[in-house]
Amino acid sequence: MNRNLKYLLISFTLVWLVNTSGSSEIRDQQIIYPVNIFNSKLSNERIYIHTDREIYIAGENLFFKVYLYDEGQKELSVRSKMVYLFISDLNNNRILQLCVPVSGGIGYGSLSLPDTLKTGPYDIIACTNWMRNFGESTFFHKQVLIANRFDDELLSVSPAVKNEDEIIQKDNKAICLMIPSDRESYHQREKVTLKMYLPANSHANVSISVAEKPPEKFGNTTLAETLSTRDMSTSQNLNGSRGYRKMCEYLVEDKGFIISGSVNNTASCEGILVMLSTPDTIANLLYSTTNTSGKFYFQLEEYYYNKELYISIPDRYKELQSELILDDKYAFGYKFTLTNALISDLTKQYIRKSQTIANINRTYKIQSADSEMEPVTRRLKGNVYYEPDYKILLTDFVPFKNFTEIVRETLPCIRLRKNAGSYDVEIVDSENKIFLENPAIFINGLFINDINYIVSFGSDKIQRIETVTHKRVFGSLEFNGILSVFTSADVKNDIFFSHNILHFMPIILQSRTQYTFPEYSTRKKIVSRNPDFRQLLYWNPSVDIEGSQPISVEFYTSDNKGSYVINIEGITSDGNPVSCVEYFDVR
C-alpha cells in the first residue's frame, strides 16, 4: 500500500509540474469575463480633480491631480489603475483627451491647452472604465474658463458663479488643515513659507495650489461635496432602466489598460478569434475569443503601451464577413449646460491682465512644466517564440528579385505553392518528416497570415526571415510552424491592411509633471531683469502630512501684485476629505 501511495504522489507531482510549466503561455490568452454586479462586493468609484486654477489663457499649462475614491471601502481606491480625462467645448466636441495612470487612488500631471481655443467655458470630464456601469451621471465634471490670447472683446458666456455663502459652507464639510500665518502680505520676489499640520493621529495626501485670486469663483463642487453625494446617485443608476445589468459590460482595469470591442456578424458572433500585435523586431501576439454577445477583451501588458496596435480576425473567419468595432473609452452623451450670464466686467479685467502675462511668457519662452523621471520597469514581451529554428539575413546573399527566389535559394524548409493565382505556404518539419500546412505568418512582428502581401518583395525590401519548423503551442492555440518576415523601414505596414484589420493608435499614458518656478535666494537673483509675472506661484500635487507634525513648503512671490489664494485639497488615510483656503497679498 505504501508503494501505491508513493506512485500516487509521484503522479500528482508530475501533473502539477505539467500544469504550472504552461502557465507562462496561458497569459497570452485574454481570459477576462464580465462581473456580476449584484453578486459582487465591488462598488462604484468617485473621481475628484483638483486643478491649479479655474481661469486659463489658451496655450498655458493646466495642472491637475486625480483623487479616485472607493465608495464601498470609503477610502482612496486601489482597484482601477486608469482614469480617462477629456475636455469638451460648448458644442460638446472633445478638444483634449488623455489616459491618466493612478496608483493607490492618486494620479497627477499637466496638459498643454491649444493656443487656438476660442474664449468660453470648457468642461473637464473624468471617469474610470468601471464607472461606466453606473451611468454617466456619476462622472466627474468641472467647468473652467479659457480665453484666447488675442480675444479683446471677451463676449462669451461664463460658467456658473458660486456665491460667498456657498464657499463658506463647503469649508465646514471637511477636516480643516491648519496653516499658522504670521503675515498677510509679502513683497515681490520674497520667500513664502507655509507650515501645515492636521489633528493628531491623522495622515493625509494633499495637493496645494497658490494662485492669484480671481474676482469670482465658479460653481464647481469641492472634494467634500463630491464625496457626500455618492450613495444616492449610485443606487439610482443601478436600478435605472439602462443601468440595470445583471452583467457589468465595463470591467475594472485593476491590471492596466483593457482594449474591448465587439465582432458584429449576421451569422454568429460567438467564439470568433481576435488577434492583437504591434510592429516590432519580434513576432508578438495577444488573442481573445468573443463571448456570447460578441465581446472581446485584451488586457494589455506595458510592452504594448506607446505603440501602434493592429487588431485582426484570422483569415478563416473571412467568409463570415465579420466586422470589428472597438469601444471608445471617451464616449459620452452629456450635453453642456450653460447659464445666460456673460463674463463679468471684473473677470474681463482679470483675463486681460492674464493675456498680457501669457504674451510676455511666450515672448521670453518661459516654461512651467517639467516631467518627472519615470521608474524603470521590466516590460514583458508577448513573444510567440524565443529562438527560431532557422534565421537568414538577406545581406549575406546575392540580391534576389522576389520572395519565391529567396525561398528557393535560401529556405529549404519552406515550400511555396501557387493555387488559383495566389500562394500558399508549407513548412517542412524535417524531424517528424511531415509538411505543415497553413503556418502562422508574421510580417514585421504583426500577425498577418497571408504571404501574398510580400511575394513580390526581393532583397531590396526584405531584411530578415525567421522560421519555426515544428508545431508551436501558444496558450490554447497551436500553430503549424511559424514564418516571420522583417522588411526594410521604407515598407509601410498600411499595405497589410484589409477589411478585418483595425489600426489602434498608440496608448500614451499621461506622464507625471512638476510645476517649476524660480527661486530668489540671492541678491543677484532678486535684482535680475528677467520678467516674472507668474499668477500661479506654487503647485504641488502630492504632499504627505503626518498628523500634528508640521510640514513646511516654500516658494517665492513674483513681480505680479495682487491678492492670492492658497487652496489645499486632499484625503486622509481613513477616507475623510481635507480642505483649507487662505489668502495673502503681494504688494
User: For residue range 137-181, what is the model confidence (pLDDT) as tens digits?
Assistant: 899 999 999 999 999 999 999 998 987 655 544 444 567 777 766
Task: Measure Cα distances from 169 to 163, 174, 220, 224, 376 in Å.
Answer: 10, 10, 14, 11, 45
What is the CATH code for 390-495? 2.170.130
pLDDT of residue 42: 58
Task: Report the run of H or E that residue 3 belongs to, with start and end.
Answer: helix 2-21
Residue 373 half-sphere exposure, CB side, CA atoms within 13 Å? Answer: 2
d(CA 471, CA 476): 13
The residues pairing with 230 across neighbouring beta strands, listed in sequence order, are: none
In the chain, CATH 2.170.130 covers 390-495
Contact 1, 7 (CB under 8 A): no
Amino acid occupying residue 314? P
pLDDT value of residue 178: 73
Three-class SS state of 573:
coil
Q: Give alpha helix (H) positions in 395-531.
A: 403-410, 523-526
| Fold category of 45-238+331-374+511-586 in CATH | Immunoglobulin-like (2.60.40)
Positions in the chain whose pLDDT score sits under 50 = 1-30, 36-40, 168-172, 231-246
Rg (C-alpha) for the chain, rounded Å, is 30
Grid cell 477589411 — which residue? 499
For residue 49, the model assigns a pLDDT of 98
pTM above 0.75, yes or no: yes
Tell me where in the chain the CATH 2.60.40.1930 domain(s) lie.
45-238+331-374+511-586
Q: What are phi and psi of 463, to 5 degrees?
A: -105, -40
What per-residue confidence (pLDDT) applies to 43? 77
